[in-house]
Amino acid sequence: MPKHLLRLARVPAVAVTLLAFAATPALGATTNPWRHTRPLNIAHQGGEDEFPSNTMYAFKRALKGGADMLELDIGVTKDGQVVVRHDTTLDRTTNGSGTIASHTLAQIRRLDAAYWFSPTANHYSHDKPASAYPFRGVATGRRRPPKGYTADDFKVATLAQVLRTFPHTPTNVEIKGRTPAEDISEYLTNARALARELKGSRRRDVIVVSFKQPAVDLFHQLVPGLPVAPGIDGSADFLLSNKSPGDGVAAFQLPITYMFGGSLLTITSKDNVARAHKAGYAWQNWFGDTDPDTPATWRNLISWCVDGVMTSRPLAFEKFLRATPSPKACAQRP
């Protein structure tokens, strides 16, 4: 279990699930645009199991296939530019190596962001034959792009490029950084860079999150007009202590379960989702290691009235949503 989830693991799963709700002034469903009876189909990294992670190609394909919202991650280059990448390094998904922070934007834009994507199992493994990577070389001009797309759709995108291309698409932006618990400096650097990028924006359909609560708090201080989702500390405050999850929070973004010390920790449950709704917050899910991104899990989430599902398979999830009506009880919740 990642260190950033340890605070949520201090009590047994049943305690997280059944904690009594302490009365909190309700914001009301009508005042929170992130509340949805039909859960939002949120393309996680643009749908990284179906398309190359965090590429413009992935975002375009996911939205064309029915996704309602994009989820993406940001890092900051050596020259202070905000780019869309999940990892703080380039090695796993591109033909580059080293950290994002040690490269300029010009250097990163020359890379192939789809170099290691394969549509078969283990989508980003590096041990397959070259033929298993169908988009390798499109970004660099060695291979023709699919019809209707360009080489640029397979390069590392900037956040400005994404927001400019999809001006009316709700977008979740996660602030990434180096992960050692004792050093959150890169998270804070990236929060400041993101704030500079978004400070003048009139958009209110962008929500910002990070595992590190100080990064969320700093961003909110700098850009108070945009909604945020709490980090691990803010989520723990609400779930375990019935405290406020932090200023500016519109939605929780959490996994379903985590395995810790041989016990399965329940984070998302019908009761916890109802607690968040009663307090006026939305609840959106992402998938941890113990919860498969599959129809069986989707069915549970819909029955618990979650407001959004961050799926790596937005095309498959959209088909499932169309065939699975939301329970009437979800529309009746506060």
CATH number of the CATH domain containing 56:
3.20.20.190
Report the distance separating Cα 113 and Cα 59, nearest Å.
Answer: 13
**Sequential pLDDT tens for the chain (334 residues):** 344 444 444 433 333 332 322 223 334 445 899 999 999 999 999 999 999 999 999 999 999 999 999 999 999 999 999 999 999 999 999 999 999 999 999 999 999 999 999 999 999 999 999 999 999 999 999 999 999 999 999 999 999 999 999 999 999 999 999 877 778 999 999 999 999 999 989 999 999 999 999 999 999 999 999 999 999 999 999 999 999 999 999 999 999 987 767 888 899 999 999 999 999 999 999 998 889 999 999 999 999 999 999 999 999 999 999 999 889 889 866 6
Rounded Cα distance between 51 and 45, Å, is 9
Residue 136 lies in a domain: no
pLDDT the model gives residue 264? 85
Say what the pLDDT of residue 2 is: 45
Domain that holds residue 295: 3-89+171-332
Tokens of 190: 């990236």
pLDDT of res. 5 = 46
pLDDT at residue number 24 = 32
Give the single-character DSSP code of 17: H
Question: Which neighbouring-strand residues pair with 284?
Answer: 253, 308
Which burial class, exposed, middle or buried, applies to 112 when counting CB atoms under 10 A from its CB (0-12, 13-18, 19+)? buried
Query: Comparing C-alpha atoms, which of 279, 273, 231 is closest to residue 39?
Result: 273
Note the pLDDT of residue 321.
97
Query: How far is the C-alpha of 57 from the C-alpha of 255, rounded, in Å?
Result: 26
DSSP one-letter code for 158 = B
Q: Is residue 122 domain-resident?
A: no
Domain assignment present for 45: yes
Asked, for residue 155, whether it belongs to a domain, the answer is: no
27, part of any domain: yes
Which structure tokens are listed for 131? 């033929």
**Residue 84, φ and ψ in degrees, nearest 5:** -100, 105
Residue 158 lies in a domain: no
What is the structure's pLDDT at 1? 37
In the beta sheet, which residues pair with residue 89?
99
Kindly state whether residue 290 falls inside one of the protein's structural domains.
Answer: yes
55 occurs within a structural domain: yes
Q: Which residue intervals of the chain are DSSP H helices?
A: 13-18, 56-64, 105-109, 159-165, 185-198, 213-222, 232-241, 270-278, 295-303, 314-323, 328-332
Residue 123 has a pLDDT of 98
Pick from 175, 182, 177: which is nearest to 197 by CA?
175
pLDDT of 183 reads: 87
* Domain total in the chain: 1
CB atoms under 10 Å from CB of 115, counted, come to 23
Reported pTM:
0.91
